[in-house]
């Protein structure tokens, strides 16, 4: 469990996967605040602090972004590019969390600036383990400018 409050932005279109991640995160670390967005357009607004996400206190800059690759409206890669183009988010750790095991997706993710690429595991316990490890590393131990 992290020693301080951690804000995580989850960009995930699959409702079932979002439920699993939310429950897993809650059990792994009660100090985590999860902000869930379902599509690329919403994610862009959040990143650019546009309404309805213009209140920084309500929608803070995340410590870690969990990003799915298949999103309606735009691909996860486009969101990743936008995140890296936005000065405030340039160093924010972005963890790709996807069902895709494609080598091309993995290569493109790192090319576009992802910090890690995690394949969604099978089973709730595995989800807890993967997410717990990722949160601890990227939000607790990792240092960003």
Q: Which two tokens stand for residue 113?
A: 């600036």
- Residue 99's SS3 state is coil
Tell me how far apart the alpha carbons of residues 60 and 42 are, in angstroms, rounded to a whole number. Answer: 15
Question: Least distance (Å) from another protein to the CB of residue 95?
Answer: 16
Q: Could you give the string, one character per residue 14-53, with x where binding to another protein holds by CB under 8 A and - elsewhere?
A: xxxx-xx--xx--x-----------x--------------
Please answer whether residues 100 and 77 qualify as being in contact, where contact means their C-beta atoms are separated by less than 8 angstroms. Answer: no
What the block records as the tokens of 101 is 């095991």
Cα–Cα nearest to 140, from 42, 29, 11, 56: 29
Question: Which one, 102 or 142, has the nearer CB to another protein?
Answer: 102
Closest to 83 in 3D by CA, of 117, 120, 46: 46
Our measurement of the distance from residue 70's CA atom to the centroid of its chain's CA atoms, rounded to an integer in Å, reads: 13
**Cβ 55 to another protein, closest distance in Å?**
27
**Binding status of residue 120 toward another protein by CB under 8 A:** yes
As beta bridge partners, residue 95 has: 66, 116
Which residues within the stretch 66-105 sit at the binding site for another protein (CB under 8 A)?
70-72, 99-102, 104
Q: Residue 42 CB, nearest distance to another protein (Å)?
A: 13
Q: How far is the CB of 122 from another protein (least distance, A)?
A: 5
With binding defined as CB under 8 A, does residue 5 bind another protein? no
The site for another protein (CB under 8 A) is made up of 13-17, 19-20, 23-24, 27, 39, 70-72, 99-102, 104, 120-125, 127
């Amino acid at each position: 469990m992290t020693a301080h409050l951690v804000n995580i932005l989850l960009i995930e279109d699959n409702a079932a996967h979002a439920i699993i991640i939310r429950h897993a995160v809650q059990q792994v670390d009660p100090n985590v605040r999860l902000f869930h967005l379902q599509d690329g357009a919403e994610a862009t607004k959040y990143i650019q602090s546009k309404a309805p996400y213009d209140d920084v206190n309500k929608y803070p800059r995340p410590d870690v972004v969990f990003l799915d690759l298949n999103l309606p409206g735009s691909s996860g890669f486009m969101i990743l590019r936008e995140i890296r183009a936005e000065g405030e988010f340039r160093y924010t750790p972005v963890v790709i969390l996807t069902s895709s095991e494609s080598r091309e997706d993995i290569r493109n993710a790192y090319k576009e600036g992802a910090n890690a690429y995690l394949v969604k595991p099978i089973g709730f316990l595995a989800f807890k383990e993967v997410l717990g490890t990722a949160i601890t590393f990227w939000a607790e131990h990792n240092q960003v400018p």
